[in-house]
Chain A
């Protein structure tokens, strides 16, 4: 079913190094009464009812969407600009988050929620750079869901922040389907991955508000065809603002940071109306 990413095998979600216990991811088998196993029914049924059709027309991920909307309202009240950062593993999400937070010093105060299947490594890296961070270890779940974010954000000093970056699990498939309540979905593509990622994973690139081409300092070494990659991005990520940068060398970071400052100003303005 999910042989590539292991998603769907029962695991435990941990937040900030402690087990998440009450996180009601559908893949985490805590016991609440929405669980899938059967219970006896004390109330009487008419077992002679003939089979009939019950029309529902219900979104399957309605529960996640509802929590995401609640998150969005909460973020708005806190005047936070919230990014959902998605990419393949190894595209440079954590480095980008770290350098962005450093580059924005004095302009925006940045906090981070990091999702990974396991380990606290990314959070430790960001923490040592002085960035407030909470790690969500998803166990075997290959994406973050809105209720994991809702639990994790309570561990951040949100009133002392202007921007929250949610660094999703490295995966270009599953995160596309799960709204977290973000303002901007940012998809990251590095030159080391080749030019055709947008064509191979259209849903996530199509849903992106921002597409970043990272590691551009390695363009020549990777024989990366920039024009072709940008062409593919434009075809799939029609609405996205595109930035080309190197989080490692700092090239192109100014335009990206200016964009965030502008977006944050828009969020502040919106929450005051």
Chain B
């Protein structure tokens, strides 16, 4: 729901980083978005179309990697991929609430010149 705000934060950080490296153009932005953040990649892409106007990233590609959620099973001492927050260890069927992945909102890298 708040993809526009998140995209504005992303572009602000990206432009700052690009400028301090002396770049004048951002060709590509790579993001990692955890599935448990509630952020919808398609909505982020639509937001990007609007928000990038007039920025160094006006012509840039947006690459989004979705990170599946994974939980830690204390009994098995192993991480397991879970489809949602209601996560049962596939080995021992113990419920786990310890989310290890899936809340990422990360600007990974830029392609600049």
Closest to B88 in A: A235
In the complex, are the beta carbons of B86 and A236 less than 8 A apart?
A: yes
A189 to chain B, nearest CB (A): 16
Q: Is the CB of B17 within 8 A of A53?
A: no
Pair A61/B95 contact, Cβ less than 8 Å: no
- Contact call A2/B2, Cβ cutoff below 8 A: yes
Please tell me if the beta carbons of A235 and B38 are within 8 angstroms of each other in the complex: no
On chain A, the residues within 8 Å of B4 by CB distance are 1-2, 7-8, 27
B2, B56, B106, B109: the one within 8 Å of A177 (CB): B2
B-contacting residues, A18-55, CB 8 Å: 25-27, 34-38, 41, 43, 45-47, 49-55
Chain A residue numbers with a CB within 8 Å of B50 are 1
* CB nearest to B12 among chain A residues: A34
With A34-B12, A174-B2, A176-B38 in contact, do A50 and B18 touch (Cβ < 8 Å)? Answer: no
A261 at the interface (CB under 8 A from B): no
Q: Give the Cβ gap from B87 to chain A, nearest Cβ, in Å.
A: 9
Contact present for B9 and A56 (CB under 8 Å): no
Chain B residues with Cβ below 8 Å from A63 are: 9, 12-13
Q: Closest residue of chain B to A63, judged by CB?
A: B9
- B31/A60 in contact, CB under 8 A: yes
Bound together, the chains give a CA A270 to CA B21 distance in angstroms of 42
Q: Is the CB of B108 within 8 A of A36?
A: no
Q: Which residue of B lies closest to A205 (CB)?
A: B85
Point out the residue from A36, A53, A201, A203 that lies within 8 Å of B37, measured CB to CB.
Answer: A203
B43 within 8 A of A: yes
Flag if B24 contacts A45 (CB, 8 Å). yes
Please tell me if the beta carbons of B85 and A61 are within 8 angstroms of each other in the complex.
Answer: no
**Which of chain A's residues have a CB closer than 8 A to the CB of B9?**
26, 60-61, 63-64
Complex contact B1–A173 (CB within 8 A): yes
- Complex-state Cα separation, A175 to B31, whole angstroms: 21
Contact with A along B1-42 (1 / 0, CB 8 A): 111111011111111111101111001000100001111000
* CA distance in complex: A171, B97 (Å): 24
B86 shortest CB reach to chain A, Å: 5
Q: Is the CB of B56 within 8 A of A60?
A: no
Q: Would you list the 10 A-B pairs with minimal beta carbon distance, nearest first?
A: A8-B4, A238-B97, A174-B2, A26-B8, A202-B85, A51-B113, A60-B105, A173-B1, A54-B110, A203-B38
Q: What would be 11 A-B contacts, judged by CB atoms less than 8 Å apart?
A: A5-B1, A53-B109, A53-B110, A54-B18, A54-B111, A60-B106, A63-B9, A141-B5, A173-B2, A202-B86, A203-B37
Chain A interfacial positions (CB closer than 8 Å to B): 1-2, 4-5, 7-8, 25-27, 34-38, 41, 43, 45-47, 49-64, 141-143, 171, 173-174, 176-177, 199, 201-203, 206, 235-236, 238-239
Known: A7-B5, A49-B113; 17 extra A-B contacts, CB below 8 A, are A1-B4, A1-B46, A8-B47, A26-B9, A38-B55, A38-B56, A45-B24, A46-B22, A47-B24, A53-B110, A53-B112, A54-B18, A54-B111, A57-B106, A199-B86, A202-B85, A235-B85
